[in-house]
Amino acid sequence: MKTPFWFLKQNPIAWLLIPFSVVYYFFGRIVFWFRKFRQVKSRRLIICVGNILAGGVGKTPIVKEIANYLDAPIVMRGYKKSEETSGVGDEAVMLANNGLVVHTGNRKVNVLMLNEQNTDVPIVMDDGLQNPTIKKDISILVFDEGIGFGNGLLLPAGPLRVPKNQIKNADAIIVIKSDKPRKKFKLPAGIPVFYAKNQTVSPYDEDDKLVAFAGIGYPKKFFSALGNVVATKAFPDHYQYNKQDIDMLIDLADKKNARLITTEKDWVRLPKSVQGKIKYAKLETVIDSLFFDWLKEKIKCQQLIRK
């Protein structure tokens, strides 16, 4: 679905939904504690990278950088599986295309399977901070500085999966920098905070006119990162494109005498027959080197504790 417009700013619709947020929160707590009774502990360290907002924060590029740095496997649910993504989900395909080892499906099953391999290398878990069935050794929260806490309310009144006070459970926070930082976005003291920067690299020349389309949590972030955009088209998050969508986009680009461009995550969801005709902008993420210094020390400490 598309990200509801009230997620970023409180308005009457958000206020009317607050009673449902209360129900969502208490039901979620009951499910959380019930599932915690079935928690398993991995023989390999589990580094969980997640967020407390519903989608669109930019977590997967952070997962990619951490897994690359550690040469570690990734376990993830594999959201919105489709024929175009070989039945494993767009994010999984995108990570695998970047040379990473990715295991999708039941995360607990995959963790136990990976325990039979080299136990010196940690496992990176994409998302799952709100899933207590696997004990995490290191928990890393990701925020987008331009989104912050959104309107500050819980689902469905706002984008928060859990109250903001749950931030205290994280071992570290990575904030993706933005040219337009969100006002009132303040993180609690006492938790290490590191910064990352994204750069969207277009495969086209600066003079080329572009028609940009995306089916991600906050497509405006992608559109604003490009230059010379003459038209945009937003689709729901993880949208599965069909022939009618592609024909419409090609027709729009022809009318604008422009080239089509999308995100890498969207590109892997396109029908194979059109992937050669549509290009994607590469998202390059650079995390502050101080974070990797911290991560190395944190891993050493956790390994010593286990001994």
φ and ψ at residue 126, rounded to 5 degrees: -85, 110
Distance CA 155, CA 146 (A): 19
At the topology level, CATH places domain 200-284 in Rossmann fold (3.40.50)
Percentage of the chain exceeding pLDDT 70: 96
Distance CA 189, CA 303 (A): 26
Give the per-residue pLDDT at 253: 96
pLDDT, tens only, 225-243: 999 999 999 999 889 999 9
Percentage of the chain exceeding pLDDT 90: 71
Give the per-residue pLDDT at 106: 87
Give the per-residue pLDDT at 24: 94
pLDDT, tens only, 199-220: 999 999 999 999 999 999 889 9
Give the per-residue pLDDT at 280: 96
pLDDT, tens only, 36-51: 888 889 999 999 999 9
Give the per-residue pLDDT at 105: 87
Give the per-residue pLDDT at 86: 56
Distance CA 27, CA 29 (A): 5
pLDDT range class, residue 81, cuts 50, 70, 90: low
Q: What is the mean pLDDT of the chain?
A: 91
pLDDT at 259 over 60: yes
At the topology level, CATH places domain 5-199+286-306 in Rossmann fold (3.40.50)
Q: Report the candidate in 159, 127, 136, 106 with the shortest Cα–Cα distance to residue 63.
A: 127
Q: In this predicted model, which residue has the larger pLDDT, 64 or 1?
A: 64
pLDDT at 176 over 90: yes
